[in-house]
Structure 1
Amino acid sequence: MEQEKNTLSVLQIAPGQHPKPIEIDNDLKALQQAVGGSIGASYPFEDPVAIVYNDDGKLMGLPLNRTLRDESGEAYDVVAGTFLAVGLGEEDFASLSPELTQKYEELFHQPETFMRLGRQMLVLPVPDENVRTETAKAKPPAAHER
């Protein structure tokens, strides 16, 4: 079967931001560029969905992004840096279906912030008014915010 489409429809999840659907080339270089380095993949879900992340993100000190939780809601890992939620095809990554895009947008919708308390890590949702958007990042803070 020929590959008709050379791009993937995936979700990009960046620290401090809501997930956003993007189109990305279906090749290693594009995936590495999207996560800022060598890629790792994790398959923590029953759905045909993978998380593609920067394999060295924690070592590089990338900002902590989202918590991964088991079926009972217990945190077992934290992804550092920007990551992608991608679909799984028979042999390779694939586009997310619209239903899976919606499901994982909702799962990762709320950005999280992390605070170390002794040996514990406190995970707090970022209030919507503090969520960064593409335009808000480029704009200098208003006088009352300085």
Structure 2
Amino acid sequence: MNVLMVEPGKAPYEMQIGDDLRSMQAVVGGYIQAVYPYEEPVALICNEDGKLDGLPLNRALRDSDGDIYDIVAGNFFIVGLGESDFTDLPHELAERFAEQFRQPEMFLREGDKIVAAPMPDEQVQGGMSY
């Protein structure tokens, strides 16, 4: 199935993966966790133990005010939602989320908060450009 892959330090890109559990686990490097932070019919699939396992922080998830409420650790992908399962991510949604996650981020502790800053362009590894 078609998904949007988002890796730490890289630009997002579309890729094909199997629609079985083993394929999804291989992409995120462990047990999967599906979260549904968007109104669109999509799921964000990540490694459920990514933070506990010390995987590199990837991208921040923000609320409607732009404030960070969580940070995804390790690889994750965006997939479409069917009636009862995951399905191909339509290209239009892939483009929308590729733009949202276009800029890799680095994270800094500032007092009692964690803040996200864009990763300098010279540190960003290639991906698909939109």
TM-score normalised to structure 2 length: 0.94
What are the within-5 Å matches in structure 2 for residues 24-63 of structure 1? 24-63=17-56
For residue 119 of structure 1, what is the aligned residue in structure 2? 112
Q: Whole-Å Cα distance in 2 between the matches of residues 72 and 19 of structure 1?
A: 23
Identify the structure with bigger relative contact order (alpha carbons < 8 Å, sequence gap 6+): 2
For residue 72 of structure 2, what is the aligned residue in structure 1? 79
Q: Whole-Å Cα distance in 2 between the matches of residues 120 and 44 of structure 1?
A: 21
TM-score normalised to structure 1 length: 0.84
Write the letter of the residue equivalent to 1:106: E
Higher mean alpha-carbon deviation, 48-57 vs 118-127, is at 118-127
Q: Whole-Å Cα distance in 1 between the matches of residues 69 and 88 of structure 2?
A: 26
What are the within-5 Å matches in structure 2 for residues 92-107 of structure 1? 92-107=85-100
Query: Per-residue displacement from partner, 1:51-109 (whole Å, max 9, x unpaired)?
Result: 00000000000000000011121111000000001110111001111110100000111
Larger radius of gyration: 1
Q: Whole-Å Cα distance in 1 between the matches of residues 3 and 115 of structure 2?
A: 29
Match of residue 109, structure 1, among 85, 98, 102: 102
For residue 23 of structure 1, what is the aligned residue in structure 2? 16
Write the letter of the residue equivalent to 1:12: M
Q: RMSD of the alignment, in Å?
A: 1.1
| Runs of 5+ consecutive residues of structure 2 not aligned to the other structure | none
Give the count of matched residue pairs.
Answer: 127
What is the DSSP-based 3-state SS (H/G/I as helix, E as strand, rest coil) of the residue aligned with 1:15? coil
Deviation of the 1:133 alpha carbon: 3.2
Write the letter of the residue equivalent to 1:80: A
Write the letter of the residue equivalent to 1:110: Q
Q: Whole-Å Cα distance in 2 between the matches of residues 118 and 72 of structure 1?
A: 21
| Runs of 5+ consecutive residues of structure 1 not aligned to the other structure | 1-7, 135-146
Q: Percent identity?
A: 50
